[in-house]
């Protein structure tokens, strides 16, 4: 049965993630060493020891989550697993696209770490603190959320940033507009409208300065066709073309993460099992709410590596 690998995004991080992988598999430990060397600092110490508030900073969380995902993959590969032979597609949620692409050989692990550090810093710097906001809207139809954003925007940025499925949409943009849109969504019948504790209005047009930074950064790294096609956040279509992938990574900074559609696409194109490679179980939970016919599994700990190997190799 066809398998796809998915890679988690920001919010899945936790202090201590990946430590048992590094202890159990030398190949996994080398990923953390490679990331430390690429960044010129001991990110691995922060990942394993904290403090949590420092790990959660965008510029740290993004390369940290990628490191854990790639450590899990290297652990699999050390035991005979081949991504090219066993997996039909890869996909990642926001920063997870970089993890997916490093896994598939589009960029090196070291370049992925540097790109994600640049991305995190650029996203943080794109909008002055306090000017942007994000809110989660639960239990309201997409058309109603879009209407609320349009009504609240009125010349300000206010848009859907994440379509996560299971009745969960995230909106992003100028603080006053997002706060008003959240209120309007409640009036339209949303079960909940929650302002999120985030540092910037991610995946909105306010991130355009960060998109410009990433265009330049991606132009400066070596790229290769991935050994497995990636299903893009931006287009929800598979591609292996390096130039197209780079364009999508730039567009992704300001565009909606279309995760519900991605999982639906997998179901429509023969994928029977989705493995979440890396920290946490966020994507697995979303997948179960979107399509219960697709089986899910996690590959983020040494035990989960062994379990996955039994099914995949």
C-alpha closest to that of 231 among 261, 272, 251, 205: 261
DSSP-assigned letters across all residues of 71-83 = HHHHHHHTTT--H
- At 197, phi and psi to the nearest 5? -85, 80
89-92 β-sheet, strand order: 238-239, 230-231, 89-92, 2-7, 271-277, 295-299
- Structural contact between residues 180 and 174, judged by C-beta atoms closer than 8 angstroms: no
Sign of CA dihedral 246, 250, 252, 253: positive
- The angle subtended at Cα 91 by Cα 89 and Cα 94, nearest 5°, is 170
Q: Which of 203, 204, 248, 284 is catalytic?
A: 203
Is residue 203 flagged as an active site residue? yes
Q: Locate 211 and state its tokens.
A: 């998109």
Which H or E element spans position 89? strand 89-92
Is residue 240 flagged as an active site residue? no
Q: Which of 12, 44, 88, 94 is catalytic?
A: 94
Report how far Cα 187 is from the mean position of its chain's Cα atoms: 31
Active site residues: 94, 203
């Amino acid at each position: 049965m066809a398998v796809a690998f998915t890679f988690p995004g920001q919010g899945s991080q936790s202090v201590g993630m990946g430590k048992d992988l590094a202890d159990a598999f030398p190949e996994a430990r080398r990923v953390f060493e490679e990331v430390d060397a690429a960044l010129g600092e001991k990110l691995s110490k922060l990942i394993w020891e904290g403090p949590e508030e420092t790990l959660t900073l965008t510029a740290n969380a993004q390369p940290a989550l990628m490191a854990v995902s790639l450590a899990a993959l290297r652990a699999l590969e050390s035991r005979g697993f081949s991504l090219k032979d066993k997996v039909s597609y890869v996909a990642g949620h926001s920063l997870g696209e970089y993890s997916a692409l490093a896994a598939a050989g589009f960029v090196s692990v070291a370049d992925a770490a540097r790109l994600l550090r640049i991305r995190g810093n650029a996203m943080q710097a794109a909008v002055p603190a306090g000017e942007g906001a994000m809110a989660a809207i639960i239990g309201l139809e997409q058309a109603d959320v879009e209407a609320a954003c349009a009504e609240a925007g009125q010349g300000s940025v206010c848009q859907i940033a994440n379509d996560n499925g299971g009745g969960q949409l995230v909106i992003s943009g100028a603080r006053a507009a997002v706060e008003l849109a959240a209120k309007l969504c409640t009036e339209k019948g949303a079960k909940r409208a929650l302002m999120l504790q985030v540092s910037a209005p991610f995946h909105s047009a306010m991130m355009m300065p960060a998109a410009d930074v990433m265009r330049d950064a991606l132009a400066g790294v070596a790229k290769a066709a991935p050994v497995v096609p990636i299903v893009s956040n931006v287009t929800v279509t598979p591609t292996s073309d390096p130039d197209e992938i780079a364009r999508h990574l730039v567009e992704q900074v300001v565009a909606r993460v279309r995760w519900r559609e991605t999982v639906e696409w997998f179901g429509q194109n023969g994928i029977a099992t989705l493995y979440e490679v890396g920290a946490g179980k966020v994507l697995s939970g979303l997948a179960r709410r979107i399509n219960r016919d697709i089986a899910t599994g996690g590959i983020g700990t040494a035990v989960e590596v062994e379990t996955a190997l039994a099914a995949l190799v």
